[in-house]
Amino acid sequence: MNRAFNDRESQKILDIIKNFARKNSLFILAYGTGCGAIEIPPTITSRYDAERFGIRGAATPRQADVLLITGYLSVKTLKRVIRAYEQMQDPKYVMGFGSCTINGGMYWDSYNTIKQLDKYIPVDVYINGCMPRPEAVIAGFVKLQQLIQQGKALGWKHYKENLEWYRQNQQKVIKNWRMPDYNW
Amino acid sequence: MNTLVVLLLILFGGGIIAYFAYNIHKIVGDIWLVLVGFAASIYYIGYLDVSQVLNIHLAGFVLTLALNSFSWIFGLLIAVLLPLVALYSIPYMKGQDRLGWFYMLFLFSVGGMYGILMAGDWLTLFIFWEIMTWSSYLIVIYRRSEDAPRVGLKYLIFSAIGAYSLLTAIVLIGANVHSLSISKFFEVLPMHSLGFKVLVGSLMLIGFGVKAAVMPLHVWAPDAYSTTPMNYTSMFSGALSKMGIYGIGLIVINLYYHSGISLAGEIVAWFGAITAVLATYYALIQKDAKRLMAWSSVAQLGYIVAGLGIGTKLSVFAGIYLAVLHGLFKANLFMAIGAVERQAGTTNFSELRALIRKMPWTFFSALISVIVLAGIPPLSGFVGKWMLYESMITSGHYVIVVFLFLASVAGFLYAFRFLFGVFLGQEEKEFEHVKEANPFMTVPMLLIALFLIVLGTFPGIMFKYIARSMADLGFYGVTYKMSVLTNDWGQSINMQYIAASLVIVFVLFLIVLTWVAYKNSRNVTTKDIHTSGEPPSEEDNYHFSENFYRPFQRAFAFVYKYAITPVYNEFARGIEDFFQYVRRLYTGNAQTYALYVLLFLAILFLIAKNIH
Amino acid sequence: MNIWNLLLSAIVTTLLGFIIGVTYMGIRRKIVALAQNRYGPPIYQNFLDILKFWSKESNIYHGVMHHLAPLWMIAMAITILLIVPTQYGSKFFENLSFNGDLILILYLMPFGQLGMALGVGQTGNPNSAIGVTRGLSLLVGSEIPFIMALIAVMIQYHTTSVTDLVRIQQEHHTWIMFSSPFAFLAALCVLPAMFHAGPYEVIIAPAELASGPMSEFGGKYLGTMMSAGSIFMFAKLTLFVDVFMGGSTNWLWLIVKTFTVYLFVIAVGIIMPRLRTEQAIRRLWGWPLVFAILAFIQVALF
Amino acid sequence: MADLQKENLLLEVLKNHFNDKIFDLKVQRHQRVHLRTTTEQIEAVLLYLKEKLGYKHLSHISCVDWIEENRFELVYILWHPEDKINVLVKVDVDRLNPVAPNIDYIWPQANTYEREMREMFGIQFPGLVGRKELILEDWDDLPPMRRDFDTLQYVMENFEFRSGREDAQNVRETIAKRTGEEIPEFAKKYSR
């Protein structure tokens, strides 16, 4: 019995089952920053119906699997996003919406918005566009599902392993770092 | 020597010696108090001879001391509580002055309670009743807090109403029955007229109802329970109020049911049910743990009175069971509140926060007591509630049972309010230094809690004594089993299976969940919660304590609007004013009052004898 | 009673209750989706959700009561399912149905809620505490008409046992919903509130209270809680069917009956907008209470 | 066009009341009157407009950074609900020592605008109540809306661009090149 669980082959089978459940049940925590917040309602309601992929809104970070950063992120909101991300439970995934999260987009020279989201939190999937339409959002979700099934959506592990690097970047832009410590 | 007298001597003599012992040194006094507590308790349980009777001839009256099985069970409750409360008192009363005075009164009031239970005639009962009332009154005003005089006055005036109506009833009995013996009185009662029975019964019920805090006479109770030092309140609410229940039990069963006026008993039950509902509704809007539990006491006593008032075999059984149980868990709860008060310095819900990590044992015993209070299976409170409801349903009292259900469902609300307000919620820096209470305080609480747990699955432990006491009330052939409860229609539940099912599932999932979740567990503080991402600063506290049941209050605004008391307060204020006026005639000295009571007694007797 | 038989039947009943309950919840999501002109998730979606919650790697621990919170729920749910008779006449599926009665079930129901409320309290989240106070307030609203309906039935048939009620209905080939219609109506009116569904979902109100009591629970805790909720839901449906609709003699018939009742709950939930707590209590104390009083009058007269 | 009777009347009234304390009075167009005053007179002017002439509503206070002339210009935009006239009251504030009177006792909503200007331009309003931070958090650089605050330099120092943006073209310059348009020198300098 014990061997069966420790055995490499069966471990893999267990992982496949787990990943199948994970990919088909994505609870999203929509962090409504910027203009992307308005793309979420059509995505999850009647017209585009994201629930058929098992995508469902979660009320709090504790219940959520996917953190959606829907648009530009000012330094002030970044602090809240980091906190919300760290309150989520592993495994957790991040999706960046629109060009603002990728390279700053039209806010490329704004003193108050970050330019690369993945320097501060690990991003699993970026969706291009300004803003991406619901079709693109769903395509992004499908991509995320593929990554989860293949076991490649490991941003949360990456974050844990490189916490110092992330902290350094975060503390560079957030001047007054008054965040509770987390025991990983 | 007569064992009954020995017990009284232990308590009253112990009280007087305690006064001097505390004047020598606190430690001497503490040791003496615990000694007296354990001695009285062990003597009562182990050596007391129930069959003994003592007649004292005094000034033409015969004072009888005799114990029966019905009063024995209330004595047992006192005997269980007394040593535990004595242990608890040692750390609780540390730093208070006039300890000798306090403990003398404490032991006197316990002695008074035993005297009441032993009384074989109405006069003895009345004498001990007054001893108990006076000593408890002096304890109520012991703390010299701001509102102690007002509260004491309230308590005194209601006690006086009770005492005078009791005395009037006794005089009427003396005049009409020519004997003050309690058993004789119940024997000859069926021969008397209906008017006499109703009049004497009502007067007696007023007298006992004051102590049992039945609705029209409850006004003193919330104030007095919350003002008194908590170690005495646990006796006050736990044991002393049961003296009223004892009296009501005697009257309702013997006077009403065994002489054919069961309607009066049902009216008593209705009073109990209304008390339960309204007191519950007031309990859940209280802002202080003490006052909440004080109102809760009133509500719980309402259940017991309702159970006794219905007067079927099962309901009286349930009433006595609940009475003993209420004595235990409410004493435990007041002890827990006392521990919180001592450690955290307040019992106000708006100040207290999240003591669970600081005082885990106090929390545990309070939790068990609250579960028992709410009557949730598989603990012992449910057994009493089940018997009470089933007895009412099977005897067709379905409207009254709805009222009791209402009280009990609303009881969940204040049960949660209490636990949340004191022990749960967000942690506050102010209470970081708080530590668990002294073992002398926690161990008695935990002992009671343990007993309450065991009693849930094996209520038969206590049924034995209750079944015996039922015989003294005229209910013969009461059968019971260790953990199977049966109602009058023959349906039964088995507490063992229920408890086993709950415990097995609980433990099974506990093991699984702990095993699976333990490895990657992250311990977080109460600040690390979902606050929409905003990191709370040091001084922010999101504890939820104000307007706790606002929607409920809004929905039931009519209860609070019409049933509470503009009228009632006026009434109380009027009585207080009246008493203030009367007070001016006297010296304000307690002894003078006692003298007046005795004078009144003497005069009444003279009049009664002359009329005859 | 053979202890091994009891254990085996308990496990089988629990598993069946779990599967049926979770499937019902999936069907509910599907029906809600169809009503909103959506395709909706597959009906096994809730299995995946529970499995996903159980396969969460990390775990957030707020304290002992928080850890125990879902356990009170599941202990209560499974015990009620074992007490409620699922199969009339079946020796194997007897479970604990002769060891409990209606009053016990009514008092077991808050066992889980209060246990969860304590765990919720320890997290220190004010939203959760507000949700709990709403839930408890609503309990006063829903419990009283329901209890009155049950008391009317109990007095009419001179029994407090669910098993006896099922036996009486099966032997007389009638359903209590026809013989005491007012009690049935009263119970039916408060049924959505017992499920915290339909207009009475103010407790979890995701947009307002961040899912209320559950807001600090995630991962395995939430998974356990969802499983317990499903089992509890099926147990409540079975209780309703047993008391008012004659119980059943096989699982298929039980599923048909319970699903019909559940369909009613879903339909009400889709149609009605959410009520505030005091509105909900007032509504529950409106017509349901009138029906319950009529049921009492019926009992008193006939 | 509509006649400017009301506007001219207002101009007359103001001119008579304040004489030389206000200057630059003109009717810009239909329903819009423009005037200029000093920081010493601004409260009196605003109070007079509000209490006596019925300009009850303060639509906005905005600030313009005239870095070449070394001054900030505060623009108080008032509205008369019955006469339907906007009055633009302009005040110059020294750029090196930017202090303007606090007027939130006249219109409470001015508080928010003033806090924003304090944060974004560094203009001080003596007696202004409210938390120091309104929109920004933990900001310790120059007030970011000042024109001498170089946002691009700030961005370069604090953030990193993702590679792949280097060939990004200046839209204005590209269009100008295509159409042969001449971009003036000042526009080039502050084209961002």
Residue-number span of the structural domain to which D33 is assigned = 5-189
Question: How far, rounded to the nearest angstrom, does the alpha carbon of residue B386 sit from its chain's CA centroid?
Answer: 20
Choose the closest CB to C52 out of A21, A62, A90. Answer: A21
**Interface size, chain A vs chain C, as Cβ–Cβ contacts under 8 Å:** 89
Q: Whose structure tokens read 């009493």?
A: B384
The CA distances from residue D56 to B494, D87, D107, in Å, are: 78, 11, 9
> D74 near D91, Cβ under 8 Å?
yes
For B59-74, how does the pLDDT look when each residue is reduced to its tens digit (9 = 90+)?
Answer: 777 788 888 888 888 8
For B472-525, how does the pLDDT look when each residue is reduced to its tens digit (9 = 90+)?
Answer: 777 777 778 877 888 888 888 888 888 888 888 889 988 988 888 777 787 887
Query: Would you say residue B568 has pLDDT above 60?
Result: no
Biggest CA–CA distance in chain A, Å, is: 60
The CA distances from residue B611 to B123, B196, B608, C127, D77, in Å, are: 19, 16, 5, 71, 98
Task: Give the residue from chain A lying closest to B521, CA to CA.
Answer: A184
The CATH number of the domain holding residue D100 is: 3.30.460.80
Q: D-side interface with A, Cβ within 8 Å?
A: 135-141, 144, 149, 151-152, 154-155, 158-162, 164-165, 168, 192
> B606 near B599, Cβ under 8 Å?
no
C59 interfaces chain B, CB cutoff of 8 Å:
yes
DSSP string, B41-100: HHIIIII--TT-EEEEEETTEEEEEE--HHHHHHHHHHHHHHHHHHHHHHHHTTT-S-HH
Query: What's the average model confidence in pLDDT over B397-401?
Result: 86
Dist. CA B222–CA B292, nearest whole Å: 8
Query: What's the average model confidence in pLDDT over B410-435?
Result: 85
Number of domains, chain D = 1
Alpha helical stretches, state H, C247-286: 251-271, 277-284
pLDDT of residue C27: 92
The CA distances from residue C292 to B408, C140, C151, in Å, are: 19, 15, 9
pLDDT of residue D192: 46
- For chain D, state the CA radius of gyration: 21
Task: Indicate the helix (H) or strand (E) that contains D57.
Answer: strand D57-66
**Cα first-last separation, chain C:** 39
CB contact under 8 A, A103 and D161: yes
- Contact list in D for residue A116 (CB cut-off 8 A) is 159-162
**Interface size, chain B vs chain C, as Cβ–Cβ contacts under 8 Å:** 231
In this predicted model, which residue has the larger pLDDT, B298 or C2? Answer: B298
Exposed / middle / buried, residue B389 (Cβ in 10 Å: 0-12, 13-18, 19+): buried
> Which pair of tokens denotes residue A42?
């059509």
Dist. CA C131–CA B358, nearest whole Å: 25
pLDDT of residue B588: 54
CB contact under 8 A, D144 and A112: yes
ipTM score of the complex?
Answer: 0.82
Number of domains, chain C = 1
Is there a cis peptide before residue A131, judged by omega within 30 degrees of 0? yes
Regions of chain C with pLDDT less than 50: none
Query: Would you say residue B265 has pLDDT above 70?
Result: yes
Query: Would you say residue A123 has pLDDT above 80?
Result: yes
Regions of chain D with pLDDT less than 50: 192
- Contact list in C for residue A18 (CB cut-off 8 A) is 51-52, 55
- Contact list in C for residue B554 (CB cut-off 8 A) is 277-278
CB contact under 8 A, B498 and C76: no
pLDDT of residue B584: 61
DSSP string, B487-505: -TTS-EEEHHHHHHHHHHH
Query: Would you say residue A7 has pLDDT above 50?
Result: no
Chains C and D touch (3+ CB pairs under 8 A): no
Residue-number span of the structural domain to which C288 is assigned = 3-301
Q: What percent of chain A is predicted at pLDDT more than 90?
A: 5
What 3 state SS string does B219-287 have? CHHHHHHHHCCHHHHHHHHHHHHHHHHHHHHHHHHHHHHCCCCHHHHHHHHHHHHHHHHHHHHHHCCCC
> B249 near B315, Cβ under 8 Å?
no
CA distance B133 to chain C (A): 38
**Interface size, chain A vs chain D, as Cβ–Cβ contacts under 8 Å:** 52
pLDDT of residue B582: 64
- B335 Cβ contact partners less than 8 Å away, ≥ 6 residues apart: B85, B88, B230, B231, B234, B365, B441, B444, B445
Dist. CA C239–CA B222, nearest whole Å: 40
CB contact under 8 A, A24 and C48: yes
CATH class of A26-173: alpha beta
* Relative orientation angle of helices C162-172 and C219-244, to the nearest 10 degrees: 40
Task: Give the residue from chain A lying closest to C45, CA to CA.
Answer: A54
Query: What's the average model confidence in pLDDT over B450-454?
Result: 89
> Which pair of tokens denotes residue B322?
């609940």
Is there a cis peptide before residue B378, judged by omega within 30 degrees of 0? yes
Q: Tell me what the pLDDT averaged over chain B comes to.
A: 83
- Contact list in A for residue D190 (CB cut-off 8 A) is none
> Which pair of tokens denotes residue B463?
């049924």
CB contact under 8 A, A112 and D158: no
CA distance C58 to chain B (A): 5
Query: What confidence category does residue B567 fall into, taking pLDDT thresholds of 50, 70 and 90?
Result: low
Choose the closest CB to D151 out of A76, A111, A174. Answer: A111
Strand partners, D57: D79
Task: Indicate the helix (H) or strand (E) that contains C77.
Answer: helix C64-83
CA distance A86 to chain D (A): 21
Query: Would you say residue A9 has pLDDT above 60?
Result: no
Q: Is the pTM of this model over 0.90?
A: no
